[in-house]
Amino acid sequence: MFDVYITKAAKFMPNEPISNDEMEDYLGLINETESKARRLILRNNKIVSRYYAIDKNGKSTHSNAELTSNAIKELFDDTFTAQDMELLSCGTTTPDILVPSHAAMVHGLLKNKTLELNSSSGVCCAGMNALKFGFLSIKSGSTKNAVCAGSEKLSTWMQSEKFENEVVNLKKLEEQPILAFKKDFLRWMLSDGAGAFLLENKPSGSVSLKIEWMEAFSYAYELETCMYAGGDKLENGEIKPWNDYKPEQWLNESLFAFKQDVKLLDQFILVKGSQSMGDALSKNNVTADQIDYFLPHVSSHYFVDGLHKALAENGMDIPMEKWFMNLANVGNVGAASIYLALEELMNSGKLKKGNKVLLSVPESGRFSYAYAYLTVC
């Protein structure tokens, strides 16, 4: 078995950062009315800027594949070129198309050479799943290097025009034409962008991070779906998929909008987070005092105090000065978020040889969690 190192990290954020007051200039107004939920949600999540791969006319400036390939190209230099890649592993919640895979579309833009591909689907853990595939490939000796990426193109999913048919239908039924909170909630949380790591079987450059271990947990066997798109949730908790609906319902009921069961989220996201992290650390004989930097992906700052308390109550008291987050400035970029946080930390000049870094990524889709423990070399 071979050691595995993150030797480079890169990112690509589209266009200019967008302030809270500019969001509806890009996403549009639903029913020609400002969202009643927007200010409350932004006050809780404490996000002050984000990036969209669209302009104010709603036209796309980049596809998800372009965001990803642009981030990957930032990894290339004289010591590692596109021709040196042996494996491309990409994770996203929002591929541009259903078929071919996201990784295949990214590879098509790189135009380098034949190589192995892996596409990881899911929600936020998709980026970590892509990382683990690259980690295991090098660990086993199958490849000497891997490029892993996490990305999202969420802005086009959140544009007002995607919800207008539903609102018009509500008017016809003489119901209140306001978008349900479970759909409006996520419009003010999500952002676009991509991050990428180069993994190699030996350290390189000024800062390399050895991946000591990775762990992942799913609680789908006991908990129902919390965050979803491409279907709707029935009263019994089951998800009815989009292809079981008639085409006119796809728009009239906003079936492809991201929806979140907020009550379910609040009830379980921290409980299962502390449980899974405790299991991961225990399995690998790591204690909280052996963590110098804690990088938790959180969808909203609303959860930070609760997460800190839940971890402390379960014997994992990590002082807040060890927490490293960039949510406020880049927003929640789903599968890309952990890549963007680690890229910023790696390039901050803060890391010292021997430091231990813990990556923590929850996914509320059906409550999955992924972790990685790193050593600075």
Instruction: Give per-residue pLDDT as tens, 329-339.
Output: 999 999 999 99
Structure tokens at 168: 């018009």
Is 101's pLDDT higher than 60? yes
Answer yes or no: are the C-beta atoms of 176 and 245 closer than 8 Å.
no
Residue type, 24: E
DSSP 293: E
> Is the confidence at residue 365, as pLDDT, over 80?
yes
For the residues 136-144, what does the mean pLDDT come to?
98
Mean pLDDT to the nearest integer, 333-353: 97
Distance CA 279, CA 339 (A): 23
What residue ranges define each of the domains in the chain, with the CATH number in brackets? Answer: 5-206 (3.40.47.10), 212-376 (3.40.47.10)
Using CA atoms, how far apart are residues 164 and 30, in angstroms rounded to an integer? 6
CA distance 143 to 137: 6
Does the structure show a pLDDT above 70 at 93?
yes
Can you say whether the dihedral through the CA atoms of 137, 142, 144, 146 is positive or negative? negative
Count other C-beta atoms under 10 Å from residue 36's C-beta: 11
CB 99 within 8 A of CB 177: no
pLDDT(88) > 60:
yes
Kindly report whether the peptide bond that precedes residue 100 is cis, defined as omega within 30 degrees of 0.
yes
Q: What is the pLDDT of residues 20-44, one digit of tens each?
A: 999 999 999 987 888 888 898 999 9
pLDDT on residue 161: 83
Least confident of 163-167, 247-251, 341-345: 163-167
pLDDT at 344: 98
Q: How confident is the model at residue 254 (pLDDT cuts 50, 70, 90)?
A: confident
